[in-house]
Amino acid sequence: MLAFEDVLAARDRVAETARHTPLDYSHTFSAMTGADVHLKLELFQRTGAFKIRGATNRIATLSDTEREAGVVTASAGNHAQGVALAATRIGVDSTIVMPERAPVSKVQATESYGGNVVLHGRDYDEAAEKAHEIEREEGRTYVHAFDDEMVMAGQGTIGLEIYEDLPGVDTVIVPIGGGGLISGIATALKGQNEDVRVIGVQAEGASSVAESLQKGHRIERDGVQTIADGIATRTVGERTFEIIRERVDEVVTVTDPEIAVALTTLLERSKTLAEGAGAVPLAALLEGKFDYDEGETIVPTLCGGNIDLNTLTNVIMRGLVETGRYCKIKTVLEDRPGSLEELVEVLSAAKVNIYGIEHDRTSRDIAMNDAEVELDLETRGEEHVAELLAALEDAGYEVEVLV
């Protein structure tokens, strides 16, 4: 099993490639939660995520023969970039298999770091099957995204940095996909102070670890569905599962809407952009998924910031909907001059900003002399939405909330 000494040894190997990322005290999230919150900004790491640490440590331990043959791996994006850059820096050829639906930005970034990208499969697991096929055919070394002691040790250097920068830390929150990151961080933290609590967080739509812990053995989900593509794995690793059972204090889950709210809140209040997997620890804290004491020193590990811009647009909109900052309503107006103006007057009195209006006079659900109207509205929060709906009802409108 991975040992604390392995993490210490990894620190020297990754020092020239990986940055010591900031640990930033957050007034905003401390005030919101009542805890003493410090954000581990690993999203400022080279390649935009923590994966460069594990990839660098693993590739540094290759024999001369293995370096000559090259490496292969499978990844949804961040590990791909880490392996590509780590391999290129020491002159090793790399082939990276990514799911066909991997974000374009991550595919392009991986290629820019020198990796040969092969797109295959619906998700990480199908991409991994293809990568192992290439491993057998070409004699390359497979660099596992998480279930490898040297990869875990590299990721664990984050834990060394957290404890070095904040020796009084009480709780560290870490996202879990396959388990490599949390295995390394938990090993590093427990090796320095057994009392530091480690909380793991999974997306509800990819909660293999939480389910495996409940059943007492590793389980594999039939599929995964989450906006946090960086942790969208069907199962936890064999090695990582044993470490999680021994060294992680608690594992909780968060929903996609909760992740979206955390991501948009982080962006708006801290001016920091995280990907879905990177926002998962903050989501767990903001939603109170685990117990903590007032003033407890807590570190959410924001592990990556590589989010596709198309995904970002959808996530921000979902976050606004969840917090009552945006809503879409439908109502029916009499099709006569002035009826729309009367509706707009109600909206204006409620201090609502109109993004867009769409008329439909052809719907079979309305009378011939009526018009169905959909409105996209900017609102100020859930209470404001409730006040708006009450004002519309008082004015005689029957309103359906679409989002």
pLDDT digits (tens, 9 = 90+) for 299-350: 999 999 988 888 899 999 999 999 999 999 999 999 899 999 999 999 999 9
Kindly list the distances between the CA atom of residue 331 and the CA atoms of 275, 328, 386, in Å, as whole numbers in the listed order: 36, 10, 16
35: helix, strand or coil: coil
**Which architecture, in CATH terms, is 57-142?**
3-Layer(aba) Sandwich (3.40)
What is the rounded distance in angstroms from the CA atom of residue 327 to the CA atom of residue 383?
12
325-401 CATH pick, 3.40.50.720, 3.90.400.10, 3.30.70.260, 3.30.1050.10: 3.30.70.260
DSSP type of residue 140: P
Dihedral angle over CA of 306, 283, 53, 82, nearest 10: -20
228, 175 Cβ separation under 8 angstroms: yes
Residue of 250, 221, 402, 399 lying closest to 321 (CA atoms): 402
Tell me which H or E stretch contains 136: helix 124-138
Confidence of residue 232 (pLDDT cuts 50, 70, 90): confident
Non-local (6+) Cβ contacts of 32 within 8 A are 286
What is the rounded distance in angstroms from the CA atom of residue 380 to the CA atom of residue 389?
13
CA atoms 27, 168, 293, 324: torsion sign? positive
3-state secondary structure 98-113: ECCCCCHHHHHHHHHC
- Report residue 120: phi and psi, to 5°: -160, 135
Q: In residues, how long is the chain?
A: 403
Tens digits of residue pLDDT in 119-133 = 999 887 899 999 999
Tens digits of residue pLDDT in 8-65 = 999 999 998 999 999 999 999 999 999 999 999 999 999 999 999 999 999 999 999 9
Question: Could you tell me the pTM of the whole model?
Answer: 0.89
Domain edges within the chain: 4-50+148-320, 57-142, 325-401
Task: Say what angle helices 51-60 and 149-165 make with each other, to 10 degrees.
Answer: 130
4-50+148-320 CATH pick, 3.40.50.1100, 1.10.10.1100, 3.40.50.300, 3.40.50.2300: 3.40.50.1100
Q: Do domains 4-50+148-320 and 325-401 have the same CATH topology?
A: no
* Count of other CB atoms within 10 angstroms of residue 255: 16
Per the listing, tokens 């804290």 go with: 285
Tens digits of residue pLDDT in 243-283 = 999 999 999 999 999 999 999 999 999 999 999 999 999 99
